[in-house]
Structure formats: C-alpha cells, structure tokens
Structure 1
Amino acid sequence: MASQPISTSPLLDAVSSIALQKGTRDQFVTSISPEWCTQHSVLGGYLNALILSAAQKFNGLELGEGRFPDPIHVFVQFLHRVPPGQVVATCKHLRVSSRQCVVRVEVARTATAGKSRTHATVGIVTYADISTENGLTQHGPSAFAVPLPNRDTECVKIDDPVVDSTPVTSKLNWVSPKSTSGLWGHRVGGHHREVWVSFRDGSKISGLLHLAMLSDMPLQPAATHQAGFYAKYALSTLCMTVEFKKRPGPSTQWVMIRSDSHVVSNGRYDINVQIHDEEGDILALSNHVVYVSELQARGKKAKI
C-alpha cells in the first residue's frame, strides 16, 4: 500500500516566504498574516520561527548553504506587540567559529506615513549542526515523576471555547488530562501541565521551526487554575529562550508539551517548557517570563 503523502506545512511556507530586501545583504522582508495571531498580536512563537528563518537565510548567503544547518539555542526579547502586516528582519553575525555561529536578528514593523520603523523583537540565535554534536552525555530522571499520559486512555480533547478563540490556537488539536474540577492538565498537580498537540490540517511537526513556534503554546499555568480566565486577563511574553535538543522525525504528528511554573506573583510568572516526541525523548526546552494584565471593559476605566 502506498504511504500517505505528507501534508505541506503552512508554518514552513509562511516563515520561508521571508525574502532578501532588494539592495541589501542583511535585511529580509515578509508580510505576516492574521492567521498567526493570538488575542491581540502575532504569536511570539511565530516571531521566534520567523527569526530563525531569517537567520538561516542570512547564514546561507554569507557563509554558504548547509554550513550551520540547525539552531541550537535562541533568546528572544519582545519589545513591542507586532500586529499582522509587513515586517523587516535585520541580521548581523556576532561570532563565527568552526563549530558555531551566532546571529542577532532585529524584527521591526515597517515604516508608515510620518513614522519610522518600530523595533519590536530582538533575537540572538546560535547555529551549529546537531547531527555532528558529540561529547559528555548524562541521563537523569525527569522533573516530572510520571510517564507521559496515554493520549487515548488518559486524555480527552480540550473542548473549551478558548482553543478556538484565536486564529493561531485554532490551528491545533489540543488533548490533555482533565481534572474532576473541569480544569485541564492537572494530572501531576500544582503548576505542572501536560498537553498533546498536533496540527488540525494534518501537516507534520517535521522541523525545528515547528518546535520554535510550539514552545510558545503550552497550557498556561495561571489560566488553567481559573475558569473563564481569558475573559478577564490577557497574557504577553516578556522574553523566552529555546534550546533545541533533537530534530523531530519527518513524520512526527503529535508532540507532548509539558510545562511548569515556580511562582505566579503580582502579574508576572515563569514557565519552563519541555517538548517531547511520542517516545518520550526531549526535542526542545524553553523558559519564558510572562506578564498577566487585567482586561478593561470597553469605554470604562474600571477593571473587570
């Protein structure tokens, strides 16, 4: 029997559309569709993937295709929200060695009438070749003391309207353990959360750019402790890092995102994220700092 064709990836199509701006060697331009937005702006994880795509094209142009094929670490600082529309990514090499290179990428909203460019996001990316990495390896127990939950017997599809409330979250299937209180992902207690995700269109999670985006798609610890959270609060990421450990297999459809938070306090909290494949291997690790802001009633100064 012939194998099923692998669906094309809308994410890879979108981020790979970033192209060299005419007359430059370090600036890349693209237009971001509203389909990659959350409540109020472009998803930080999408901007992360876009930064990696721009840096990879810059490396190919300056250093030759294939010399440093994989991002192994990225730090992203979010300065301003990015609405859908045209952006420019400006790249600069900070360091190039025989094993690695480091690229700074600044993403700016394009200038409008009477206004200059607004620098919105800055990324520092380290590139290498994961397939040739070798050296000290130590295996330790997971911070989560239990195996991954069985997707068929221990989980159910998240049917909360919030997963369909934004364009980018509605792209995914969300499957998670559900507690007796009706809240999601509480199988291991506290601020530990677990969610299986896949793309509804059937496209595969086939590369590190997918992991860059999905690292920003956990069950948010603060939100899963309170019913109706998103009707009262908005979340925005201050900064995030991602370390890439392993390329996902080309036919990967589901990954497990495990997350935990140490302290949610005074409108700010941390998230530690692990992305696993179905065999339990860690594909990527991420850390975030997130702000929570109360939504205001329209036309009123009082908070709700």
Structure 2
Amino acid sequence: MASSSILKDQINLKRSSSHIYTVSYHADWTAGPVLHGGCVAAAIHHAATTHLVTEPTLAALDQPDILALHLEFLRACEARGSTITITDLKVGARTSTLQLELSQGGQTKVIALATSINLDSPGPTAATAWRLHPPPRPAPDFEAVLAHRPDAHWLPAHLVGEILPFTRRQLVLNPRGGFPVDGICDAWNTFLDDRMDATYLAMMTDCIPSMSDTLLRNGGLYDARRSFTQIEQWAKENPGIPAELTNSLKEAMQTPIFNNTVTLDIEFKRKLPKNGVQWTFTRAESRMLEGGRMDLDVTICDQNMDLLCIARQAVLVLDARRKFRDRKAKSVL
C-alpha cells in the first residue's frame, strides 16, 4: 500500500484519542454543497487501515488490510471536516471487525463496518472461468496514450469543471464505439500525478458515469453517451490528444436527476504493490432501473486485467433540485 498520496494528504487524518479520528475535506471532493460519496468512503477506509496498524491490540494481530467494507450513507456529508469514531466489535486471530461512525456537527452521517485481514496470509488458491461478459475492448498501449499517440481501441479525456474538481487530475479512456450495451460502461483510469492504493480504490468504486442518466439518455452531466459524443468528435480532429470536458454548478442545477447511494459494499480481492498501481480498468453495470431504484455493480482490475476489487451500490435516483438547490445539505431520504 502506498504510504502517502495526494488523496491521503487531502483526507488529513488525525488521531484525537485511541478510537476517535478527525478528517478534513477538500474542495476537490465537492458536488455542489455536498461531498462525493467515493471520497467519503476513501476517508473511512484510510481511518480503518490506520487504526488497524496503530491501535496496539489490533496491530499485534497483523491484519493491516481491509477485506470487506460496508457503508450506510444515512445523510449527505457537507463540505466540512468530520469525526470518525471507531468501535472494535470483534478482535480475532484471522479477521477482526470494526464499526466506524462518521459524524459532522454531532450528527451521524455514515455508518460503516470494516472486516480486516492480512491479504498476504497463505490459503487455497485456484483459477476460475470467470470473465467479464461481454468482453471489454483490448487493453490500450498505456505508454502511447500518455505520449498522446492515438490508441486503436480507446479515446482519452479529462473532465475539468466545478463538480468534483478532482477529476482534473484524472485521465479517463473511453472505448471507441461508445457504450452499445445498455447498462454497461467500461473505462480505463489513471491519475497523472499519483498512483492508486487501496484507499484510492475505495474512491474509484464511485468514480463512474451516471448509469441512470446513461440508461435514460437524458443528456445529464454524467450521461456517458453525451460525453462520448463530445469525445469522439474531438478525437476526429485531435487524434491522441485528451478531450477536455467541462461542467458547472449552473448545469448541475438544470439536470433532472441525481444518484443517491444508499449503501456501498466493497470487497478487496488482492493486495496491491507497495507503490500502488498506475492504471485501473473499471466496469460499471446496472441490471435494472425501476421506480427510481437502481442496482450498480463495479468491477475494478489492474493493467493485466487481474481483479482488484468488486463493489455493489444500492442507489435511489432522485430529483436533482433536492441536491443542488438545498445548500444546507439536508438528508434527501
């Protein structure tokens, strides 16, 4: 696990007592008046992994990794600092379980359960026939992409805007031909100034197009088809050069819907190299959008298409005016 990163510097985790931590927030994480759920998940993951290696009883067990992380988003997190209170629910020889409560101004915003393990521990291993279906396009030539040479299968883009400004550091590769299968969006991601560790992966489980906007083809801010049209047109005139997309709060206030993640479950499948990874492949997949309720599965792989983590969200698709026009960031549920 990378010892430091821009993301962890922004989280700015500090210990107040043996089981209480504070975290900062960064303007990069904001979507209007609230914080991005993926960044909140990353802050909780960082607090959990820090606690596992610094609390003496847990540190002695040598369980530095998170196997599974479950989050219940009770209320929207405001653009302000947070307190994370940890309870050691189970301390075991093989796995332990932590409860993490993130609060702001004395109000509980997120409840999480984290199961710890040592991902280097020996145990049975066997290959399976699992594959992504339908198969994604062949992996890009990463060096060529970074050198701004066109790739046969992927088109590069940056998103620079007022919503979630951290995306300005991110390069996203979209598949040529767009997204022909309803409910499936593939992409390759890298951060140009950082490498990704497990805390980054927690964030990346929520760094995806809006599947609801894409399914409804409503031209919303994160409608993958809308973005791809712009990217494809740019690539015709500027082969190999990343398209630069923008967004604004004004546009966000005009979009009809937004996705409210109710729960997020993440399972980490393998330990990352100590210096992290440079590129990740992400597949976002929804089985059904019905009555404003949507399931969302996220699969993240490394450059070799080896599985790194899987995630599942339960999502409510709501009126966007309730998010961007309420600056007090009240609960939308």
Mapped partners of 2:26, 2:159: distance in 1: 25
SS of residue in 2 equivalent to 1:170: helix
Matched, 1:255 2:280: yes
Matched, 1:73 2:64: no
State the partner residue of 1:114: none
Mapped partners of 2:158, 2:44: distance in 1: 32
| 1:123-138 alignment, distance < 5 Å | 123-135=112-124, 137-138=126-127
- In the TM superposition, residue 148 of structure 1 has moved relative to its aligned partner by 4.6
Mapped partners of 2:159, 2:190: distance in 1: 17
Q: Please, what TM-score do these two structures have when normalized by structure 1?
A: 0.82
- In the TM superposition, residue 156 of structure 1 has moved relative to its aligned partner by 0.7
- In the TM superposition, residue 138 of structure 1 has moved relative to its aligned partner by 4.4
Indicate the structure whose relative CO is greater, using CA pairs within 8 Å and at least 6 residues apart.
Answer: 2
Tell me which amino acid in the other structure corresponds to 2:76.
R
Tell me which amino acid in the other structure corresponds to 1:134.
G
Name structure 2 gaps, 5 residues minimum: 141-150, 222-254, 327-333
Q: Structure 1 residue aligned with 2:189, among 189, 193, 197?
A: 197
- In the TM superposition, residue 30 of structure 1 has moved relative to its aligned partner by 2.2
Tell me which amino acid in the other structure corresponds to 1:46.
C
Mapped partners of 2:96, 2:268: distance in 1: 15
SS of residue in 1 equivalent to 2:111: strand
Q: Is residue 73–residue 241 contact of structure 1 (8 Å, CA) maintained in 2?
A: yes
Mapped partners of 1:156, 1:141: distance in 2: 27
Q: Is residue 164–residue 170 contact of structure 1 (8 Å, CA) maintained in 2?
A: no
State the partner residue of 1:14: 10
Matched, 1:174 2:175: no
Tell me which amino acid in the other structure corresponds to 1:280.
M
Q: Structure 2 residue aligned with 1:218, among 208, 212, 221?
A: 208
| CA separation of 1:220 and 1:243: change in aligned 2, threshold 3 A | same
- In the TM superposition, residue 193 of structure 1 has moved relative to its aligned partner by 1.1
Q: Which has the higher helix share?
A: 2
Mapped partners of 1:29, 1:248: distance in 2: 26
Q: Please, what TM-score do these two structures have when normalized by structure 2?
A: 0.76
The alignment-based identity, stated in percent, is: 20
State the partner residue of 1:27: 20
Mapped partners of 2:292, 2:80: distance in 1: 29
State the partner residue of 1:156: 155
Q: Is residue 156–residue 175 contact of structure 1 (8 Å, CA) maintained in 2?
A: yes
Name structure 1 gaps, 5 residues minimum: 1-5, 111-116, 180-184, 300-304
